[in-house]
């Protein structure tokens, strides 16, 4: 069964460094998402991406964040200058174009900012 994959599974970085989190969505899906879960808290929407552009972003998704679909398969989240409070699990998800179909989530990348 097709699945969403994410790399790396765990990333440790120093405050102020740039990180890129990578996702490979399911191949025929059209909508892509990033969510964040700070340890012990709820899952929060960051950004959605459709037709090669951001379709919606949350207040969390400030100028330090960017997303890209550099080729036909990868979907990346870049944090330009990491802060301690960016430490969280980051989930990528994808959905096909059918209304209300569930989002398939990747296993997540745990980001630790020191």
Cα torsion angle, 107, 28, 42, 59, sign: positive
Query: Judged by CB under 8 A, does residue 75 bind another protein?
Result: no
Q: Which H or E run contains 76?
A: strand 75-79
Structure letter (DSSP) for residue 101: P
Could you give the string, one character per residue 30-69, with x where binding to another protein holds by CB under 8 A and - elsewhere?
-x-x-x-----xxxxx--x-x----xx-------------
Query: Judged by CB under 8 A, does residue 7 bind another protein?
Result: no
Backbone angles phi, psi at 86, to 5 degrees: -80, -10
Pairing of strands 10-13, 109-113: parallel
Q: Is 60 helix (H, G, I), strand (E, B) or coil?
A: coil
Query: Judged by CB under 8 A, does residue 90 bind another protein?
Result: no
Closest distance between another protein and the C-beta of residue 91, in Å? 6
Question: Binding another protein by CB under 8 A: which of 61, 91, 111, 113?
Answer: 91
Chain positions contacting another protein, by CB under 8 A: 31, 33, 35, 41-45, 48, 50, 55-56, 89, 91, 93, 95, 99-105, 107-108, 110
């Amino acid at each position: 069964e097709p699945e969403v994959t994410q790399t790396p599974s765990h990333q440790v970085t120093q405050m102020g460094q740039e990180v890129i989190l990578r996702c490979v969505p399911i191949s025929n899906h059209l909508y892509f998402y990033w969510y964040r879960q700070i340890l012990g808290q709820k899952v929060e929407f960051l950004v959605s991406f459709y037709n090669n552009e951001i379709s919606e972003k949350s207040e969390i998704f400030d100028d330090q964040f960017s997303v890209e679909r550099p080729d036909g398969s990868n979907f990346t989240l870049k944090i330009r200058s990491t802060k301690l409070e960016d430490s969280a699990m980051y989930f990528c998800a994808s959905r096909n174009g059918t209304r209300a179909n569930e989002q398939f989530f990747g296993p997540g990348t745990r980001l630790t900012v020191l």
